[in-house]
């Protein structure tokens, strides 16, 4: 190894350390914003939660909340919360479909006019209000406001090593894929957006995605 090479490596170390410190600071700020925003929303919109809960109970029999195992940061599994949008026990059909899944690139989770979705569920999905209970997940620390959507274990086990990199950041309520097609994307397309997010992540990107999420939700485009 030449002296020039050694000097080059030594000069690059402070820069690398500075980048690491910057990213660590941004991660801490991201977590702080997650806690503040989710706490405020839980306090402010609790009347809306009550109205949604009453509508779900009136619309179809079954629990108000739907809980499902998802895979988060570092491959750790946890229970995600959502308002129930399907008839009770409808998830068993999806589990049977996932059990025989071999290829994920062209897989699509949600279909238009899905008969399993209730009347209240269609509105909640279109408006993304079914995701509100995930504010609890954010406070618990297993989710963030922005990040790749948490996936079910049956899908994660089919990831390639490259696709598994999406597990290197906390999962989110919204993400890059959700502002670029939402339910219209195949799983392969969603994974591409997730990896792009992992590669480009910074706090500014999160704020941009939050703003674009507001616009997408009000437009209703790509949700069903």
pLDDT for 126 equals: 87
pLDDT for 208 equals: 95
The ranges of the chain with pLDDT < 70 are 1-23, 90-102, 105-113, 220-224
In the chain, the DSSP E strands lie at: 65-71, 77-83, 144-146, 172-174
pLDDT for 9 equals: 45
pLDDT for 22 equals: 58
- The predicted model scores a pTM of 0.82
pLDDT for 91 equals: 65
CB-CB contact of 222 with 108 (8 Å): no
pLDDT for 137 equals: 96
pLDDT for 11 equals: 45
203-219 and 3-44 are packed helices; what angle lies between their axes, rounded to 10 degrees?
40
């Amino acid at each position: 190894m030449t002296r020039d090479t050694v000097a080059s490596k030594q000069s690059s170390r402070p820069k690398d350390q500075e980048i690491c410190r910057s990213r660590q600071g941004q991660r801490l700020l991201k977590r702080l914003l997650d806690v503040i925003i989710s706490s405020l929303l839980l306090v402010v919109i609790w009347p809306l939660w009550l109205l949604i809960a009453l509508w779900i109970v009136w619309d179809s029999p079954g629990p108000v909340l739907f809980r499902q195992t998802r895979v988060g940061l570092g491959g750790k599994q946890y229970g995600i919360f959502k308002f129930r949008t399907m008839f009770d026990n409808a998830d068993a059909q999806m589990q049977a479909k996932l059990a025989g899944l071999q290829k994920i690139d062209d897989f699509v989770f949600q279909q238009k006019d899905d008969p399993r979705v209730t009347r209240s569920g269609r509105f909640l999905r279109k408006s993304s209000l079914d995701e509100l209970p995930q504010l609890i997940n954010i406070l618990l620390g297993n989710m963030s406001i922005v990040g790749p959507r948490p996936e079910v274990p049956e899908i994660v086990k089919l990831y390639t090593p490259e696709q598994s990199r999406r597990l290197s950041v906390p999962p989110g309520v919204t993400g890059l894929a959700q502002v670029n097609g939402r339910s219209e994307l195949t799983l392969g397309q969603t994974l591409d957006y997730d990896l792009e997010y992992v590669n480009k992540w910074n706090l500014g990107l999160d704020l941009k995605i939050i703003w674009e999420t507001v616009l997408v939700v009000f437009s209703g485009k790509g949700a069903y």
